[in-house]
Structure 1
Amino acid sequence: MRRVSPSRLSRLLTGWSATAADRPGDRSAPHPAGPGHLLPQRLAAALRELAERGDVPAGTVLPSQRALAAVLGVSRSTVTAAYGQLEAEGWLASRQGSGSRLRGTPLSRERAGEGRLASFDERRGDALSDVLDLSSGALDGIAAVDAAVDGLSAADLGPLLRSDGYLPYGLPALREALAGYYAQCGTPTTPEQILVTAGSQQAVWLLAQALADPGDTVVTENPTYRGALEALRARGARLVALPDDGTGTPAGAPPDAALLRRVRARLVYLQPTAHNPTGRSLRPAARRAWAELLTRLGEEQGLFTVEDTACAELTLHGDGPPVPLTAQLADDRTATVGTLSKLFWGGLRVGWIRAAPPLVRRLAEVRKSVDLSGPVLDQVLAVRLLARLPAARAQRRGALREQLAAAEALLRERAPGWEWEHPAGGPALWVRMPGADAEAAAQVARRRGVLAVPGPAFSPVDGFRDRVRVPYARDPAMLAEALRVLAESAR
């Protein structure tokens, strides 16, 4: 019997509880989502839309009214009324002892994204410009991007314009520059080992498509990057979480060799440096232990390792480039994901995969089925930016340290009981809200015009119900107001 958990359903139900017209500039009111009697109709409409689109398949048993009310931060009567409306319309069938089953004729499509992917549904331009958005850790652009754009001329595109512009493997000059980047990291690389992608999200999606078949076991940290969870779940992978200490996979803990041997995973997905969302980096001893175990399991069981270094350039200390864990592993059983979008600007959609040439060719074939080639102009710009990387790295790290100090001071002021670990890198804090349900708090905050992502969105097992990710690289006034609303919503 197919069931959908309250946690997962809450992440699919985005934007239902308020319209743009409902969101006033003053967020001090406890329930500014409009008249309370509209909430049941809006919830019913949102559930009906999930059924019509096939995001929640027909026959799925919905959560109990009490459980869904708790996670949405509304009264049980709101959910009862919404379920009653759907039942009257024929969209819901309720049976004593069996729960409420959703009816509908779903379209043939992939399931909707949860958390990260669904949160972007609410970005529709000026209509929601008054929303205080803590749902993404993407950073503003730095001055190096302005300078690189100003330096472009027609001569940079001359030879490219005399071709059709379709480069499924990426701009040759960029592949060569990225190979040089890895050589500086102590990881000899040829251009044939590089596939340029439209950001790191596409890179992770391509690897999920190429390496995991439906039903394959994939081991991930807990918590982990929610975009990777989306890509792997959409592929039909069976996710197994590494043990955690209640705050996330510990930075100094050795790998769980027994677990990895027992589950016989097809691949393992890791973020050893500036982990998203915890901001942790593996300590040297743990890194060595991981490299040794992954090498053994690669030889014995064919285990494949995907290392995501999307945030690795956002470490808060150090001078040189981060050395990937996969530098210590065999090229034919590893892939490394990277991006320029985190360091330079979220709007620069240039990422890549470093892997053995046979896998690069296979990934390029998958990639051609969805977008043929990435934007050439972005890649020309990326070549220029890589030449400015040391200065950009120093500038970004200095700014992040200042922004982190200011955000921690704000948290101590606005939410004195909350707890967090000072991160080694990344653009966000992994914050514990003692005694609060983060998912319900996020739903209440959403109705007051603040978007935040609760802990379960980052967990393969819907854990961390008392956690929320707080991006700290924000305008101080905006962050102060968003934290005020979030703290009040938690209370």
Structure 2
Amino acid sequence: MCEPPEGGKDHLTAIGLRRAMMGGMDRIPPTRLSRLLTGWSKEGTGAMPQLLAEALRELAQRGDVAPGTVLPSQRALATALGVSRSTVTAAYGLLEAEGWLESRQGSGSRLRGSGSMGEPATEGRLASFGTRDGGIDLSSGALDGLSAVAAAVGDLSADDLTAALAGDGYLPYGLPELREGIAEYHRSAGLPTAAEQILVTAGSQQAVWLITQGLVEPGDTVIVEDPTYRGALEALRARGARLVPLPADGAHGARALARLAGHVRPRLVYLQPSLHNPTGLGMDEPTRRAWAAVLAEQGLYTVEDNAYAELSLHHDAAPVSLAGLLPPAATATVGTLSKLFWGGLRLGWIRASTTVIRRLADIKKSVDLSCPVVDQMLAVNLLRQLPEARARRRSRLRERLAETERLLRDQHTGWRWERPDGGSALWVEIPGADAEATAQLARRAGVLIVPGPAFSAVDGFRHHVRLPFADRDGGLEKALPVLVDCARRSR
């Protein structure tokens, strides 16, 4: 039984590795602080230094930034926020006068705090969900729901519900019929799977969180792609993992992993081989085999996150799993129905060895005893409709992608991107612009967008943003002139 082990192109330089391993430092990078400062200002709502000071004070009061943390220099934070240095200087001065900031010559400005220390803040990743303040929200690539979900609700009969009501409704591992349906989903893609290897979760985000809680201890090293899914970065950072990045550009990452293995012994490796968030790219077969060869040779436990796999722009079939090329007990695979069918259908899963599934189920029981049973009954029906759902999504995504690319070209933005293999967003490079400052300037103009460093373990990709293209309300077309202007001002 293989359990998680203890303990130019290639940007795993000595400096990059050293930055990744500095988990215990009490200095917060300006890029990360800027993402924590969500909703702190809009143009015309008051004096900027006062607003910034209030936002920093709130971080200290809530414990989102630990007492004693060294804040960025005034110049660095001003650059990240897209404001003048005098604004940050005045804000720091206000905090120091109120006793919230302590400045020492040669050691920077340390934040004082009175809030209780809880879970680390999540850099605003979910801040826009549930809010409608009249702005344009491009911070999420979530899609509208498919009509198949409503049809599945209508297909549930009184007899179906009566049969479910005969039990107590507590199913921590998941509805047996759904576990078998998910196992068949994997078998149809060539990956032998038993129902006992499936744990049903409240979406893929809970699946990733459970894996970090069950397989990673504070201080463990975890290898991630750079860039990668920011929800996974948040979960791993909250667990206290030390993150080491590898390039998310095909076989280069596999070669970097082979070189790195002699220096770092990771607890696990987190990958998105089928469709990558945020780049939208997928591994071709030679690349997949190159990764598998290194992972198997080094005996590394692999977490394969296939949350976006069903949003392919090219394929009708279930995604081919990297786990099929690795030792059976050395992988955990994450999947979900929420991306394809509807975000409100909070159903995902983990496929792993029965030993790992039992361990993760015990953790899941501490936060919920069962995903909603009626939702799981719907999911059993929806699994049978995957080919139709894929075709409908693919048609819409292709249409919106073509329209978005035309829009970017017509605006003569000069922005660069690689056409994705799937997903609902473009990974866009804005040459010469500062992505953090662009995002902050856009926020103050009523447009929410996610800058590239939010997807990086080492705050890289300072010239990239993720640009969702699948909205149906023309939000991107309205927002693009604002973003172009903000990018220009950020230079």
TM-score by length of 2: 0.92
C-alpha separation in 1, matches of 2:483 and 2:251: 28
C-alpha separation in 2, matches of 1:357 and 1:427: 33
Whether the aligned pair in 1 keeps the contact of 2:145 and 2:342 (CA below 8 Å) is yes
1:51 matched to 2:60: yes
Whether the aligned pair in 2 keeps the contact of 1:251 and 1:281 (CA below 8 Å) is no
Q: What secondary structure sits across from 2:443 in the alignment?
A: helix
C-alpha separation in 1, matches of 2:322 and 2:341: 23
C-alpha separation in 1, matches of 2:316 and 2:172: 33
Which one of the candidate residues 154, 167, 192 is aligned to 2:196?
A: 192
* Matching residue of 2:229: 225
Whether the aligned pair in 2 keeps the contact of 1:438 and 1:455 (CA below 8 Å) is yes
* Matching residue of 1:34: 44
1:369 matched to 2:366: yes
Name the CA shift for 1:131/1:153 in 2 (closer, same or farther; >3 Å): farther
Which one of the candidate residues 75, 81, 95 is aligned to 2:84?
A: 75
Whether the aligned pair in 2 keeps the contact of 1:407 and 1:476 (CA below 8 Å) is no
Whether the aligned pair in 2 keeps the contact of 1:168 and 1:374 (CA below 8 Å) is yes
| Ranges in structure 2 where 5+ consecutive residues have no aligned partner | 1-24
C-alpha separation in 2, matches of 1:251 and 1:404: 26
* CA-CA distance at 1:251 after TM superposition: 6.2
1:110 matched to 2:119: yes
After superposition, residues 79-478 of structure 1 pair within 5 angstroms as 79-114=88-123, 118-126=124-132, 128=133, 130-242=134-246, 244=247, 248-250=248-250, 254-256=254-256, 257-298=258-299, 303-475=300-472, 477-478=474-475
Q: What secondary structure sits across from 1:61 in the alignment?
A: coil
Any runs of at least 4 consecutive aligned residues in structure 1 with deviations exceeding 6 A, and if so which?
A: none
C-alpha separation in 1, matches of 2:60 and 2:252: 44
Whether the aligned pair in 2 keeps the contact of 1:15 and 1:122 (CA below 8 Å) is no
C-alpha separation in 2, matches of 1:418 and 1:362: 46
* CA-CA distance at 1:476 after TM superposition: 5.7
C-alpha separation in 2, matches of 1:68 and 1:17: 15
RMSD of equivalent CA atoms: 1.4
C-alpha separation in 2, matches of 1:250 and 1:263: 21
Residues 192-223 of structure 1, C-alpha deviations (whole Å, 9 max, x = no match): 00000000000000000111111111101110
C-alpha separation in 2, matches of 1:183 and 1:309: 15
Whether the aligned pair in 2 keeps the contact of 1:169 and 1:196 (CA below 8 Å) is yes
Residues 315-354 of structure 1, C-alpha deviations (whole Å, 9 max, x = no match): 1102211111111112211000000011111111100000
Whether the aligned pair in 2 keeps the contact of 1:251 and 1:283 (CA below 8 Å) is no
Residues 401-446 of structure 1, C-alpha deviations (whole Å, 9 max, x = no match): 1111011111112353000000111111000000100110000000
C-alpha separation in 1, matches of 2:351 and 2:157: 30
| Ranges in structure 1 where 5+ consecutive residues have no aligned partner | 19-32
* CA-CA distance at 1:252 after TM superposition: 7.0
C-alpha separation in 1, matches of 2:262 and 2:381: 44
Whether the aligned pair in 1 keeps the contact of 2:251 and 2:291 (CA below 8 Å) is no
C-alpha separation in 1, matches of 2:458 and 2:285: 28
* Matching residue of 1:9: 33
* CA-CA distance at 1:106 after TM superposition: 3.1
* Matching residue of 1:26: none
Whether the aligned pair in 2 keeps the contact of 1:194 and 1:360 (CA below 8 Å) is yes
Identity %: 64
* Matching residue of 1:23: none
C-alpha separation in 2, matches of 1:165 and 1:16: 43
Name the CA shift for 1:206/1:415 in 2 (closer, same or farther; >3 Å): farther
Q: What secondary structure sits across from 1:408 in the alignment?
A: helix
Residues 445-454 or 281-290, more deviating = 281-290
C-alpha separation in 2, matches of 1:230 and 1:327: 28
Residues 42-68 of structure 1, C-alpha deviations (whole Å, 9 max, x = no match): 211111111111111111110111111
C-alpha separation in 1, matches of 2:305 and 2:266: 18
C-alpha separation in 2, matches of 1:415 and 1:87: 45
Residues 108-139 of structure 1, C-alpha deviations (whole Å, 9 max, x = no match): 3111112xxx232244444x2x1211111111
Whether the aligned pair in 2 keeps the contact of 1:252 and 1:283 (CA below 8 Å) is no
